[in-house]
Amino acid sequence: MAEPLHLRDRTLQIDRATRADLPQLVALLADDEIGRDREGAQLAAYERAFERIDADPAHLLVAVRDDDSVVGTMQLTLLPGLSRSATTRLQIEGVRVAASQRGSGLGAAMFAWAADWGRAHGAGLAQLTTDKRRGDAHRFYERLGWSATHEGYKRGL
Amino acid sequence: MAEPLHLRDRTLQIDRATRADLPQLVALLADDEIGRDREGAQLAAYERAFERIDADPAHLLVAVRDDDSVVGTMQLTLLPGLSRSATTRLQIEGVRVAASQRGSGLGAAMFAWAADWGRAHGAGLAQLTTDKRRGDAHRFYERLGWSATHEGYKRGL
């Protein structure tokens, strides 16, 4: 399903991630001030998660490629639901842009692509949570038209 | 799958919601200060959403019954993912407790049941968002051990 993803001054490819992308995807997840201490499982654990994501068409694990390098990722999930007059939600998790690409417009292009994908699959509302320590991310989302209307609660199980 | 749900002074039944529950589920969703203005779709739209939820074993739409009345609901979703060392998330949406039941311990019992269900299905982290205007809900979640570590961003599509 690779498609062009147009940035201001060049074109990358946006694609469904494959199992072969996993080492690069995990490296992207770990290349982050908050994410750094959270990654470190064996590759086999990431492979099992990948298989579960890939097996359910409600999910799309995205890899943005610059030639052979994966420079961006996010996981999109369609969440059907009764609330808000039976609105399907587009849940966005695990967004990362490679440090080398920051400021390139890649993040904004990925979110525009995600919104199109959600609309094409019947979603009426997109949602994500972001750590309260990520002030730069908050400004980015607000510039893209997102609103922090909700508190994001988490609890270990 | 109906199971007993023990409250302090009586026992309700917790069950997978059925299509026949839909009118009561929609009434519960609408019996809420914030939800009131958001519900009002035709029953057919709720039925289509119900079919999508019910068809995917990643979702469990819960109905808590007191005899023939549905007095509580929530939607549980298992979200596999790569981040946080390939942690599966338990996403909780559309939680409602009937006004007649508030203060009965039903909400806390539902969340304890949800955590057990999530753990039994391999989830390591539970997450939900709640409107910033719901101060009572925030105190409730914090009492149950949840932390508002994240901002919850939404955006219409």
Residues A114-148: tens digit of each pLDDT: 999 999 999 999 999 999 999 999 999 999 999 99
pLDDT in tens, A13-38: 999 999 999 999 999 999 888 888 89
pLDDT in tens, B70-85: 999 999 999 999 999 9
- Helix, strand or coil, per DSSP, at residue A88: strand
What's the mean pLDDT when you consider all of chain A? 96
Whole-number pLDDT of residue A68: 92
Residue B138 near residue B129, CB atoms below 8 Å: no
Whole-number pLDDT of residue A124: 98
Task: For residue A7, give the DSSP letter.
Answer: -
Whole-number pLDDT of residue A33: 84
- Using a 10 angstrom Cβ sphere, with 0-12 exposed, 13-18 middle and 19 or more buried, the burial of residue B36 is exposed
Residue A55 near residue B80, CB atoms below 8 Å: no
Whole-number pLDDT of residue B102: 86
Whole-number pLDDT of residue A34: 86
What is the largest distance, in Å, between two alpha-carbon atoms of chain A? 45
Q: Quick check: B127 and A157 CB within 8 A?
A: no
Residue type for position A129:
T
Whole-number pLDDT of residue A141: 97
What DSSP element (H or E) covers B109? helix B106-120
Which stretches of chain B score pLDDT less than 70? none
Residue type for position B129:
T
Instruction: Spell out the residues 6+ positions from residue B55 whose beta carbon is closer than 8 angstroms to its own.
Output: none
Phi-psi region of A75 (alpha: psi -120 to 50; beta: other; left: phi over 0): beta
Which residue from B minimizes the CA distance to A126? B155
Distances in Å between the Cα of A95 and the Cα atoms of A64, B55, B82, B103 are: 11, 28, 11, 39
Residues of A in contact with B84 (CB under 8 A): 38-39
Q: Which positions 82-141 of B are in contact with A (Cβ < 8 Å)?
A: 82-86, 88-91, 93-94, 115, 118-119, 123-132, 138, 141
Whole-number pLDDT of residue B57: 94
